[in-house]
Amino acid sequence: MAAAVKVVLIFAALLTVFALMTWAERRLLAFMQFRLGPNRAGPLGILQPAADGIKLFFKEEVVPAAANRWVFLAAPVVSVATAVLAIGVLPYGPPFTLFGRQWQLQIADLGVGVLYIFAVTSLGVYGPVLAGWSSNSKYTLLGGLRSSAQMFSYELALGLSWVGVIMLAGSFRIGDIVDHQAGGFWCWNAVVQLPAFIVYFVAATAEVSRIPFDLPEGETELVAGFHTEYSSMKFAMFQMAEYLNMITVAVLGTDLFLGGWHSGLPFLPSSGIWGFGWFAAKVGLVLFAFIWLRGTLPRFRYDQLMGFGWKVLIPVAVLNILATAAAVVLFGL
């Protein structure tokens, strides 16, 4: 029963954040480019996501004649399903007491939490790949192939960046990793494991295909990449998957590297409502960084992307693992 309530609550909260993100992203990007962005629907344009949703609902559903119909219809569902699966094991705040019971805003507290996230993100590649192949168009196929190669390459760096953090905490449980960073901001993994944090942030940006790593969409070359042929709500589902993945990556980054709900300064409280405040602020900061990057950077060339992933990020992550392992053995951290 409690689990069902948590599922509904967390899912509703994430969908709200997703809707607000689509608006916030357009407004912030506009400000960075000396424009105003959508500001007509509601105060400050905050009802823009609702207007977009209504528009997308009433658009015509197009399935290309030469497309593989069932795979074409399944692809957006797979995309959203894999994105939603990952949110189930993340903790969204400190444990708190309500109605005389101990609660934790987390659906399933898995002992292999970090590995589970890794498994689910590795399944996330199937959405774009199925979409790209089933649309039967060269742009979508190229987008799908790029997507699979890119996600596959950066997943390695992403997974390796977590190893040092796991070794320090001695646990795969995300809650344990957060608790290991209690104290001050100098205990955060973003400080202790700085190379891993940088690798994580870069690989995560690539994993969610955001600029400068949005090669699978690359509109200058591929129209819109793997979702060129999608319209109406099916297109919206790809967008939703992308934003949900972004939120997952931001929450995971906060939990693993930015100290979760800990305030970072010993004299500031980090329990109860304070913890939720710190947590939301950190996640918001990471999400803002994604938008900021999009407003700042151009896109990678494909060979640069692959070279950077394999020849820079992975060696850095491996060296970090070796150094951390040596430190753990020598100093018994």
Partner 1 sequence: MIDAILFYVFAALALGSALVVIGQRHAIYSAFALIVTLCSLSAIYGLLGSPFIAVLQLVVYAGAIMVLFLFVIMLLNVGREEREGGERSGLKIAAGILTGVLLLQAGAVLLQAVVAPAPGFDASTHKMAQDLFSPRYLYAFEATSILILASIVGAVALAKKDL
Q: Kindly report the number of other CB atoms within 10 A of residue 50's CB atom.
A: 13
Site for partner 1 in 248-277 (CB under 8 A): none
Site for partner 1 in 49-108 (CB under 8 A): 71
* Residue 328 binding partner 1, by CB under 8 A: no
Site for partner 1 in 4-33 (CB under 8 A): none
> Which span sits near partner 1 by CB under 8 A: 34-42, 90-98, 147-155, 185-193?
147-155
In the complex with partner 1, the residue whose CB is nearer, 113 or 264, is: 113
What is the total residue count of the chain? 333
Query: What phi and psi values does residue 102 have, to the nearest 5 degrees?
Result: -85, 130
- Single out the residue of 17, 91, 67 nearest to residue 230, CA to CA: 67
> Which span sits near partner 1 by CB under 8 A: 47-55, 141-149, 242-250, 263-271?
141-149
**CA-CA distance, 37 to 50, in Å (whole number)?**
16
In the complex with partner 1, the residue whose CB is nearer, 133 or 213, is: 133
Of positions 106, 135, 137, 148, contacts partner 1 by CB under 8 A: 148
Contact map string, positions 98 to 137, toward partner 1, x by CB under 8 A: ------------xxx--xx-xxx-xx-xx--x--xx----
Of positions 141, 169, 174, 244, contacts partner 1 by CB under 8 A: 141
In the complex with partner 1, the residue whose CB is nearer, 56 or 145, is: 145
C-alpha distances (whole Å) from 298 to each of 155, 207, 274, 301 are: 22, 17, 38, 10
Of positions 45, 93, 143, 144, contacts partner 1 by CB under 8 A: 144
Residue ranges with strand state E in 99-227: 101-103
In the complex with partner 1, the residue whose CB is nearer, 129 or 316, is: 129
Sign of the torsion angle spanned by Cα atoms 290, 295, 296, 299: positive
**CA-CA distance, 282 to 39, in Å (whole number)?**
26
**CA-CA distance, 78 to 131, in Å (whole number)?**
10
Of positions 25, 52, 155, 242, contacts partner 1 by CB under 8 A: 155
Least distance CB 200 / partner 1 (angstroms): 17
In the complex with partner 1, the residue whose CB is nearer, 111 or 266, is: 111
- DSSP code for 2: H
In the complex with partner 1, the residue whose CB is nearer, 93 or 309, is: 309
- Binders of partner 1: how many residues, by CB under 8 A? 25
C-alpha distances (whole Å) from 57 to each of 50, 54, 76, 232 are: 11, 5, 15, 6
In the complex with partner 1, the residue whose CB is nearer, 17 or 166, is: 166
In the complex with partner 1, the residue whose CB is nearer, 167 or 289, is: 167
CB 212 within 8 A of CB 297: yes
To 5 degrees, how large is the angle CA 68–CA 71–CA 75?
A: 130
* Nearest-10 crossing angle of helices 194-207, 138-169: 150
Q: Kindly report the number of other CB atoms within 10 A of residue 2's CB atom.
A: 8
Site for partner 1 in 165-184 (CB under 8 A): 172
CB 105 within 8 A of CB 93: yes
> Which stretches of the chain bind partner 1, using CB under 8 A?
71, 110-112, 115-116, 118-120, 122-123, 125-126, 129, 132-133, 141, 144-145, 148-149, 151-152, 155, 172
